[in-house]
Amino acid sequence: MTSIDESNKEKLRSVSVDLNNDASLLIDIPDALCERDKVKFTVHTKTTLSSFQKPEFSVPRQHEDFIWLHDTLVETEDYAGLIIPPAPPKPDFEGPREKMHKLGEGEATMTKEEYTKMKQELEAEYLAVFKKTVQVHEVFLQRLSSHPILSKDRNFQIFLEYDQDLSVRRKNAKEMFGGFFKNMVKSADEVLISGIKEVDDFFEQEKTFLLDYYSKIKDSTAKAEKMTRSHKNIADDYIHISATLNSLSAEDSTGNKKNLEKLSDLFEKLRKVEGRVASDQELKLTELLRYYMRDIQAAKDLLYRRARALADYENSNKALDKARLKSKDIPQAEEHQQHCLQKFDKLSESGKKELTSFKGRRVVAFRKNLIEMAELEIKHAKQDYTHNISGLFPLKPSCSFCLTIFDLLEFFFFFFLL
Amino acid sequence: MAASSDRNPPPFPAAEDPEPGLVDPADGDSDEGEDIFVSKTNPVSVSRGVSQPDRGAEDPPDLFSEEEEASSTTAKSNGVHSDDDSDLFAEAHMELNTDKPGSSAKKELSASSGPRSTSTSTQSPAAMQPTSLEQLEEEEAKDSFDVDVAITNPEKVGDGMNAYVAYKVSTRTSLTMFRSKTFSVRRRFSDFLGLYEKLSVKQSLHGCIIPLPPEKSVVGMTKVKVGMDDPSSVEFVERRRAALERYLQRVVCHPSLLQDADVREFLERDDLPRALNTQALSGAGFLKMINKASDAVNKMTIKMNESDTWFEDKFQEVEAEEQQLRKLHAVVDSLVNHRKDLCGNTAVFAKSMAMLGNSEDNTALSRALSQLAEVEDKMEQLHQEQAASDFFIFAELLSDYIRLLGAVRGCFDQRMRAWQRWQEAQSTLQKKREAEAKLLWANKPEKLQQAKEDITESSNRSGSTASITVICLWESRVTQYERDFDRIGMTVRKEVLRFEKEKAKDFKSQIMKYLEAMLQSQQRLIKFWEAFLPEAKAIA
């Protein structure tokens, strides 16, 4: 059972920008418990809106509840013209759990110290996954609360307020299958729809852009993940090197002993820095890419719904023409056509707004994360650098004098220019 | 003459008179030279005297406290040696002993690794602004040890399966035993192996630790021969070149090996006869394998009665250390592989990011993403260099010492074999004595006389002028083997201590190099990201 505290969470707000600013409805997840496979989130709401019964309250929620909320929003016709924030992915502890298992198997081959360090490293990884999943769920709710239309959704309010267990009916087999089938139909439809002539240039551009961008960002996310994993492997290697150097120096009785000890210490410090580099890169870069990949998928879904509406409208036009030819059921056909036109217009209008704001949001988020990542890289390299210096000091005297001057200058300019 | 200098001499009285042997190198020096040699005989005072003037110039207490400890331990061991040495060795060896703390202290002072750099040992006196005391010490160190070798210019000679790679071996020295100050020759890999063979045959009987050349590699060489110019064969040649350089430098740093005629011939002679018995599939190769096998069997059956626990303890230490080094080497290997993976992944990611930047429609963000792709490309290069440094500096150092520790173990084996010979001679002597006693007991003086006549006849026939009996022969043999055994023991002890010192020095210099490389790459990393930061901030 693990829980997180407020201060750590502050550092994690990476991909969410300009959220949770509206004091009329503030949501956060201050606490979460992890039991075996299930994570229980404590959703805390502070509001000034009269639609709620209390000004401040907390409810426990599970991942499935979030999914239920997302699905109901998607299925609501009225929101067809909106980008529904992507559902948070399921908490996945598989990676660290597997590594923990492997570590247990290999326990006999390493020294006690090494084992403890590896275990610590794994526990940190586990904690990182946990923090990430909390953040992702929180961002989902915050996007809903900052959206002018979605924040007023009734189901959303129930989600926030209802203090009993939602006992969301897990999708039974038929519904699951139905959902799966619907997805297949949707993708087939997408192909069909891409053939429809677009009436609006804006949407034509957006469609091309989003399709292309989606595939590229998906690729980048996968590659970024691999890169981060390599970094983590290197950090793990440093642990082993440090431990072996330690046992070497313990048995050494010659002048080499001190050197080996110092080197072992250095590697121990380096592995912490490398670990942090890896996790920062993961949070700022990989998570950013992953989140916007899902967001773009949601935008694509909006385009799909609009295209579907356009197809419906065109079909209704054809039906009206046929009815006029046959001189039968004309008013119904007309009404149907009007209805389709309205729907299509509404979707186009809100779609345009949503997509424009999405663009702005995306650019701002990228900017924030790229700046933070660059700053962290610099900070870690400087820390790495300082550790190297202190590792070098006792070993190489002739250079140490110049290094101190350089070091002092560096810090002087750094603070001065900032 | 000793008191004529106005700098602060070490505040110790000259404990011993300077050995006559020591005066020779001082002949070419100024009158201040005498001062050094006075204090030289007291090794502890040398190191302290050296460190004091330095404390003003540089302020790292750590190194010098380390150095003092190291010097004092070697001083102690040298003390042991001096006592024993005076019985068995000429004064020349004494000179080398006492030279060592000074020169090694000097080498640590100048912070240039002797085995590594070819030119810094001449530059460091100038760069150091030393006091005259240090200057003279430096010169003296140069007198004893200044042979620097470098191996460069690997060139493929010939074509097809008969091709080989020739390396240029350049030597720079101030020693008088060489024909000139700088010279170079071309050598191929089998020449190096041949040198090792010759040295091990000659020197192993004395218990020296012979440095090991890099291993043969059929796969690597075949690729080079066939003419593939891919990065792996380039890396192979570079790896071999660096290993050969280290090997040769270790050989010339060894005081007794340097005196060897074969080594001089290797360095100087333009045309070296081809060392044929180094080929894997030759007759000599097979003979070697058989010898190795019989040695292994011998080792298992001999149980040595150790009178001196030092040897046993040291042997166990060496074995344990070898094991740990192997483990460390395996981990460093895995680090190298992971870093290479990181290289690949970063390159791939950079490309993907570039494509993403292209399809981005916001111009500022698009530019920033392309910049990010460039930064990641540069990072890939950094990782590549770091992986090379990991490998060539760290991993190779470890594999060198794993093999060298094997050679150290070989040394101990030599000593054990000497002991075995001695014991066998003793038991043979015992048997002969018993045989003679039996004859006496049996009171058959005629037979005894006959036996004695037979023996003298046979010894006359074998050309010995004096009529010695077989027993006397064996008695002399026993004494000789016992002396051999003791001598080997002394040499092994001396060698092991010298080896440990060299190892500490080597490790220190290599670790320094490694950390410096790491530091440099971190600095470049900082520059790259600092260049990227304004681009990221410019996103609107």
- Residues 102-121 in B contacting A (C-alpha not used; CB under 8 Å): 110-111
The pTM is what? 0.71
Contacts of B507 in chain A (CB under 8 A): 256, 259-260
Phi-psi map region of A29: left, alpha, beta (phi>0 left; psi -120 to 50 alpha): beta
pLDDT grade, residue B111 (50/70/90)? very low
Does B323 contact A at CB distance below 8 Å?
no
pLDDT of B147 reads 77
Instruction: Report the C-alpha gap between A384 and A269 in whole angstroms.
Output: 8
pLDDT of A218 reads 92
pLDDT of B94 reads 36
pLDDT beneath 50, residues of chain A? 1-14, 395-406, 410-418
pLDDT grade, residue B447 (50/70/90)? low
Mean pLDDT in residue range B529-534: 91
- B371 phi and psi angles, rounded to 5 deg: -60, -40
Q: What is the pLDDT of residues B151-163, one digit of tens each?
A: 888 887 777 777 7
pLDDT at B166 exceeding the cut of 60:
yes
pLDDT at B2 exceeding the cut of 70:
no
pLDDT of A5 reads 45
Residues in chain A: 418
A259 Cα distance to chain centroid = 44
More confident residue, B239 or B90: B239
Task: Please answer yes or no on whether B355 and A216 come within 8 Å at the CB atom.
Answer: yes
Q: What is the pLDDT of residues A235-260, one digit of tens each?
A: 889 988 988 888 888 877 777 788 88
Cβ neighbours for A1, distance < 8 A, ≥ 6 positions apart: A33, A34, A35
Most confident listed range (B85-99, B272-286, B338-352): B338-352
Contacts of B517 in chain A (CB under 8 A): none
- CA-CA-CA-CA dihedral for A268, A271, A275, A278, to nearest 10: 170
Q: What is the pLDDT of residues B324-371, one digit of tens each?
A: 899 999 999 999 999 999 999 999 999 999 999 988 888 889 999 999
- Spatial strand order of the sheet with B182-188 comes to B147-157, B164-173, B182-188
Mean pLDDT in residue range B75-88: 38
Task: Please answer yes or no on whether A363 and B539 come within 8 Å at the CB atom.
Answer: yes
pLDDT of B10 reads 46
Does B539 contact A at CB distance below 8 Å?
yes
Instruction: Report the C-alpha gap between B10 and B15 in whole angstroms.
Output: 12
CA distance A218 to chain B (A): 10
pLDDT of B229 reads 66
A16 Cα distance to chain centroid = 9
pLDDT of B377 reads 93
User: Hey, CA dihedral for B170, B172, B176, B180, is it positive or negative?
Assistant: positive
Instruction: Report the C-alpha gap between A231 and B311 in whole angstroms.
Output: 45
pLDDT grade, residue B228 (50/70/90)? low
pLDDT of A196 reads 66
Mean pLDDT in residue range B173-189: 81
End-to-end CA distance of chain B: 80
Question: Which chain B residue shows the shortest CA-CA distance from A224?
Answer: B349
What residue has token string 């001089």? B264
pLDDT of A174 reads 57
Q: Which of B59, B504, B533 sits opposite A374 (nearest CB)?
A: B533
pLDDT of A18 reads 55
Contacts of A227 in chain B (CB under 8 A): 342, 345-346, 349
Does A359 contact B at CB distance below 8 Å?
yes
Contacts of B322 in chain A (CB under 8 A): none
pLDDT at B32 exceeding the cut of 60:
no
Contacts of A212 in chain B (CB under 8 A): 359
The two structure tokens encoding residue A412? 């002087």
- How many beta-carbon contacts under 8 Å exist across A and B? 183
Q: What is the pLDDT of residues B373-432, one digit of tens each?
A: 999 999 999 999 989 888 888 898 898 889 888 888 888 888 888 888 888 888 888 888
Q: What is the pLDDT of residues B295-329, one digit of tens each?
A: 666 666 666 666 778 888 888 888 888 988 999 99
Q: Which of B60, B342, B372 sits opposite A370 (nearest CB)?
A: B372
More confident residue, B106 or B441: B441
- Residue pair B516/B389 in contact (Cβ under 8 Å)? The answer is no
Q: What is the pLDDT of residues A200-241, one digit of tens each?
A: 788 888 888 888 999 999 999 999 999 999 988 998 899 889
- Residues 225-284 in A contacting B (C-alpha not used; CB under 8 Å): 226-227, 229-231, 233-234, 237-238, 240-241, 244-245, 247-248, 251-256, 258-260, 263, 266
pLDDT at B123 exceeding the cut of 50:
no
Does B304 contact A at CB distance below 8 Å?
no
Instruction: Report the C-alpha gap between B49 and B31 in whole angstroms.
Output: 18
Mean pLDDT value across chain B: 69
pLDDT at B276 exceeding the cut of 80:
no
**3-state DSSP assignment of residue A329:** coil
Task: Please answer yes or no on whether B338 and A241 come within 8 Å at the CB atom.
Answer: no
- Residue pair B104/B501 in contact (Cβ under 8 Å)? The answer is yes
